[in-house]
Structure 1
């Protein structure tokens, strides 16, 4: 395969580039409509009890309250005649809005639960109609229409799930624009530093452009047939830019190495495709396998990242294998054009490099160097012992976000809120007596303030003296029960209440479905926990198989899996220390809270895939030397000497594209960017620089072990090194060409 790719690039380079340009233009046109196809939300399991409960409430009762309008009177209490008159006018206007339903207000019900303790604020609850995307668009329009001053006597502010979702979607776009504005110029400068040549520095951006453009076109097509989360665009830009640089850096460096060694342009292209191209193919396969595991989860937030991730990896790899060789053929020696003043002559001797010297030092004292590194990583992972998980809510928004401020006021100033209550959907008629008995049992649970039903309101296990029966909670074919608690939302106690409510014996012949924000959290944890073994198994099995096919050894895959888990544990531990425990919350401007569940799973898969990316980079060169008969120690030292510069430069550049998201206003986007960037640096520096050579020294020749039947299998089906030899091997060139003037800082 690689022979044909090389010959295609050599013989048909210009037609290949012309077709690539046309493809980019077409993908750009298609991808421009991607944002119209993407959706907000996607954090819930569609088959979970809480989601099914929400569907019953939507079908039978017009939907749950997902919009809170907090109305404050400028003249004093909200129950004065003037405030009441203006409040009733506002409610009448809201009821005319076709985007809203199930509107409940203090001025209609006179419920003290819809009035603040000081009497200056009142709540209007409503349901914004439509799916998550329609709710987001409607909420934005509603906020523009009603937020602010009303009749000069009232001030209206919006909160609730729909308002939070709308502000989240807007902030995601703003954060993405800011991250790109930082990452792209900084990356270009760093590429100039790394390559020392203007022409060579621009080549990775070509691959990144193709990968990002193609992936947005892919999202447009996927969004036309299934649900795709709008946050997937963050992964596309970061991975597209990063992997485009990674793969192009590997190819360009190998090509320049061959040119410096005296090979002709055609031979340099052939050898580059056979070696670096093979590495790119296997690297992309391992990254894609890790990201494909996200598709086993039912939440379309995670599945979207799986779709986007696999797509951007595949497009980056294909463009590197097809377009980059053609570019190198056309450019030839001009790849070094535009030499920068700081570019130095390459020193070809691998052992003389910093990475070569580090590898040699580690292999001489493997335990002395590896044990401290392991101790630091395990210490960094220790916060995982106390990790807790949550779901996205208003606290991920900046503190000045209106919907966040409203949610905080509702929690502090109002006695339990219906908007944050649990609700129980009974998809059948229930006689009054069994319904009342069930409500009494629910009201007796610890932490429950009141239970509202069509049979009456209950508190402390008995009918309440206030709060009459609400006929709107009953239908001939359904019943709704509101369970309002005094517990902190999404706390351990609130989760426990969900389980207690579900354990209460229901009326005969009914199957209660419990919904609400706390129920969604419980179901999300259960849903991910149920599928996590399958996802991890898929990642481990596919990675093991790919690395075996790549190396012919069963020890290398096991060693890679263990070291990757250690580095990922350290990364997630640091993120827990920062975002859950609250360290660095002031400089980063976020509110400490439990680790966002879906984002943690996403970080694990991305970190694992990118760790395998660099595993393949390093192991490829070590195996190449080992297959030539070089002893184990020399293979590792020279392999790291040749690839260490590439891995460290690629890792730094890829980390920059992720770290740019650390400037985001949304805390879970900050965690995604900082966590992914840190995982890359830990793996490239600590694991590849120290732990890999130490493990290779301790394992010795057994690192290449495989049972006889697997060796036979690999000989037949494995993708082994082959193809034409270079005109002059790099190792030979190093003796007589140490002064080769190749403008590079890599």
Structure 2
């Protein structure tokens, strides 16, 4: 890395030209990213329900993907529009079209609403691309009085991708003007303000191009673009802020431009490198669940952090080398200069130093109290609900229309899939009968359908299933949907219609109940699994909950190693983990209060993503502040003076960086997609708590209580007189003057 930085300083034009060439080459691929993103990702690919669904598709020749065309006639009966819609829906890839003639229950009681189920042979992404044209074709074919909406899993995924792109665009349009203002207030120079924004734009563009390449070799969903914008804007701007600020200070101290760039990169650049590494480590932990949603987040977070750090280590020093003193061009009329005393008032430092134990106890109690509502949260990924989408979206309107006028419970049954070798047909039938009998009385079940519920005499049922003896045409059709053979394997299913919506707690409890029964009461030689939307969601939720300990452990161990290498301390990494747990818990508690809903449920993805992102980003503050405190201590300050003086020196910088992150995350609270909105709320809350409460109060109070054993290393000189460093940082500078830097670095330990 030192060689790269040296090259950037020595040949800045060549480095900038290389980055511009890379940007030009990458631009076409970045523009193709949206079309390369896959759908879904909120299922456990190794889960029982996914395997059971594949068994059903193979055994009963069911279309792997289907869309629902919802028709609602405002003027009268909708039946007259069914044939027109059916004809308009025919196209390559369609394998089946089922309507109310096969399922009379698919028509509302007033006769104004119905739907057609269109089965496709293609994969989910292929079917997604059909959604807009299918909707337009059917609308053109039916009467103007008929409202047409297309819904179903591929349509919901299509809408999710579309609105995710809109959310990112909207958030960036909000964030960039806010960042413009924040950076202008921090730098009070138009050129200095523009540099971090340009770096952020380059970072986002290149990462999107990298995302397109990743999508060619693995499945990536729309969460990739959201996390790239969220994390990318935050880290790219913050890293540039740290380095540009130090560069301007070096110039103000009389250093020539090459020396100022070199010193800035050796000090603050050192901190940025460790901070970026912490983000990469934290985001990499999200590979643990091995589900597309988490993998997409991990890929986006890792890629954008690597690009941001590489840019900060190469492109940014080259730009600063060329700009030189022009970095201060466009300077606005300066207001009265704030001293370190105004950043961390002497009275505040006094309270922290005089009553650290009281402050520690009160703040920890406050964090625990704020986190308490999080204990009531239920982690549940929406699997058969369109509530994640904006209210006016066609896919959400369609599913809401079915739910209101017809009912969705019959559309999303819990399916018990049983398989056995042909020689074990009697055991298979016995198991199917026992399960159907149990399900009839299970709490949360409304109706049950299986081969044993068709009304055939028990004695003649085995023969009827074997060769159709005693069955009429309708009976054979019914049996064909419930019992079949695939080679020498028999497959049957029991359909359990819940008495509540598929995303409800009651239906999730029904799934758990049936699974417990299957484990204990299935006959030998018979394999039983659950399929259906609720079972798929339950498997994903279990995957998330089961992954939490390992994700936390991976982040904790790797971050411990990084901070140990940075500070040569075992206590500081443990403090970082403890502080982050407090912040994440309190943020989830706040989220439960404002967005948990009546059933206190949030998306399963949110907690793990919050933990990983916040842990990575909070390392910025940890490295900057602790690094400055440690250096002051090693330079001879007393432990108390090092803690309070380092706090005074870095609090303003951290506040500016936090304001940038809050601006970015708040911009995502306008998102139409609920999971993105949840993340925006929780991350903005976490940053405020971390920067304002943890770093300015809780961390210094804890450090004062622990004493100087946390620092390690050899001091350069005897401790200064108590209070001298704090006094120098907060009292001696006259109002309206710049504070000269104490020691060689304002943010990180100088490599020795």
Q: 2:210: which partner in 1?
A: 218
Counterpart-to-counterpart distance in 1, 2:494 and 2:304? 46
| 1:662 equivalenced with 2:694 (yes/no) | no
- What secondary structure is seen at the aligned counterpart in 2 of 1:396? coil
Q: 1:723: which partner in 2?
A: none
The CA deviation string for residues 71-111 of structure 1, in whole angstroms up to 9 with x for no partner, is: 33455455xxxx3x5424533554x333434433222343x
Counterpart-to-counterpart distance in 2, 1:115 and 1:370? 63
Q: 2:381: which partner in 1?
A: 391
Counterpart-to-counterpart distance in 2, 1:144 and 1:458? 44
Q: CA deviation at 1:180?
A: 1.2
Q: 1:443: which partner in 2?
A: 440
Q: CA deviation at 1:371?
A: 3.6
- Mean Cα displacement is larger for which, 667-676 or 357-366? 357-366
Q: CA deviation at 1:605?
A: 1.1
The one of 285, 293, 299 equivalent to 1:301 is: 293
Q: Does the CA-based 8 Å contact 1:176-1:234 persist in structure 2?
A: yes
Alignment coverage as a number of residue pairs: 697
Q: Does the CA-based 8 Å contact 1:87-1:107 persist in structure 2?
A: no
Q: 2:406: which partner in 1?
A: 414
Q: CA deviation at 1:381?
A: 0.9
Q: Does the CA-based 8 Å contact 2:64-2:123 persist in structure 1?
A: no
Q: 1:373: which partner in 2?
A: 363
Q: CA deviation at 1:522?
A: 1.3
For the structure 1 residues 446 and 346, does the alpha-carbon distance in structure 2 shift closer, same or farther, using more than 3 Å as the test? Answer: closer
Q: 1:142: which partner in 2?
A: 134
Counterpart-to-counterpart distance in 2, 1:593 and 1:202? 43
| 1:541 equivalenced with 2:557 (yes/no) | yes
Q: Does the CA-based 8 Å contact 2:408-2:501 persist in structure 1?
A: no
Q: Does the CA-based 8 Å contact 2:65-2:127 persist in structure 1?
A: no
Q: 1:700: which partner in 2?
A: 707
| 1:90 equivalenced with 2:85 (yes/no) | yes
Counterpart-to-counterpart distance in 2, 1:131 and 1:65? 7
- What secondary structure is seen at the aligned counterpart in 2 of 1:97? coil
Q: 1:163: which partner in 2?
A: 155
Q: 1:589: which partner in 2?
A: none
The CA deviation string for residues 480-506 of structure 1, in whole angstroms up to 9 with x for no partner, is: 442212123222221121123232334
Q: Using structure 2 for the length normalisation, give the TM-score.
A: 0.86
Counterpart-to-counterpart distance in 2, 1:667 and 1:415? 24
- Mean Cα displacement is larger for which, 189-198 or 366-375? 366-375
Q: 1:238: which partner in 2?
A: 230
Q: 1:400: which partner in 2?
A: 392
Q: Using structure 1 for the length normalisation, give the TM-score.
A: 0.86
Q: 2:536: which partner in 1?
A: 520
Counterpart-to-counterpart distance in 2, 1:455 and 1:701? 75
| 1:529 equivalenced with 2:545 (yes/no) | yes
- What secondary structure is seen at the aligned counterpart in 1 of 2:481? helix
Instruction: Map 1:278-677 to 2 at 5 A.
Output: 278-345=270-337, 347=339, 350=340, 353-354=343-344, 358-392=348-382, 393-414=385-406, 417-427=409-419, 433-434=429-430, 435-436=432-433, 438-453=435-450, 457=454, 469-477=478-486, 478-502=491-515, 503-504=517-518, 505-506=521-522, 509-581=525-597, 594-677=601-684
Counterpart-to-counterpart distance in 2, 1:593 and 1:66? 31
For the structure 1 residues 7 and 164, does the alpha-carbon distance in structure 2 shift closer, same or farther, using more than 3 Å as the test? Answer: closer
Instruction: Map 1:33-44 to 2 at 5 A.
Output: 33-44=32-43
The CA deviation string for residues 443-467 of structure 1, in whole angstroms up to 9 with x for no partner, is: 34333232334665489x9x9xxx9
Q: 1:725: which partner in 2?
A: none
Q: CA deviation at 1:66?
A: 4.5
Counterpart-to-counterpart distance in 1, 2:408 and 2:661? 47
Q: CA deviation at 1:619?
A: 1.2
Q: 1:276: which partner in 2?
A: 268
- Mean Cα displacement is larger for which, 276-285 or 660-669? 660-669
- What secondary structure is seen at the aligned counterpart in 2 of 1:125? strand
Counterpart-to-counterpart distance in 2, 1:402 and 1:507? 45
For the structure 1 residues 134 and 509, does the alpha-carbon distance in structure 2 shift closer, same or farther, using more than 3 Å as the test? Answer: same
Q: 1:175: which partner in 2?
A: 167
- What secondary structure is seen at the aligned counterpart in 2 of 1:127? strand
For the structure 1 residues 458 and 601, does the alpha-carbon distance in structure 2 shift closer, same or farther, using more than 3 Å as the test? Answer: farther
Q: CA deviation at 1:735?
A: 6.7
Q: 1:689: which partner in 2?
A: 696
Q: 1:69: which partner in 2?
A: 69
| 1:208 equivalenced with 2:200 (yes/no) | yes
Q: 1:717: which partner in 2?
A: none
Counterpart-to-counterpart distance in 2, 1:281 and 1:377? 30
- What secondary structure is seen at the aligned counterpart in 2 of 1:122? strand
Q: Does the CA-based 8 Å contact 2:42-2:537 persist in structure 1?
A: no
For the aligned residue pairs, the C-alpha RMSD in angstroms reads 3.1
- What secondary structure is seen at the aligned counterpart in 2 of 1:228? coil
Q: Does the CA-based 8 Å contact 1:391-1:596 persist in structure 2?
A: yes
The CA deviation string for residues 581-600 of structure 1, in whole angstroms up to 9 with x for no partner, is: 46xxxxxxxxx761100123
Q: CA deviation at 1:531?
A: 2.1
Counterpart-to-counterpart distance in 2, 1:153 and 1:217? 45
- Mean Cα displacement is larger for which, 430-439 or 247-256? 430-439
Q: CA deviation at 1:227?
A: 0.5
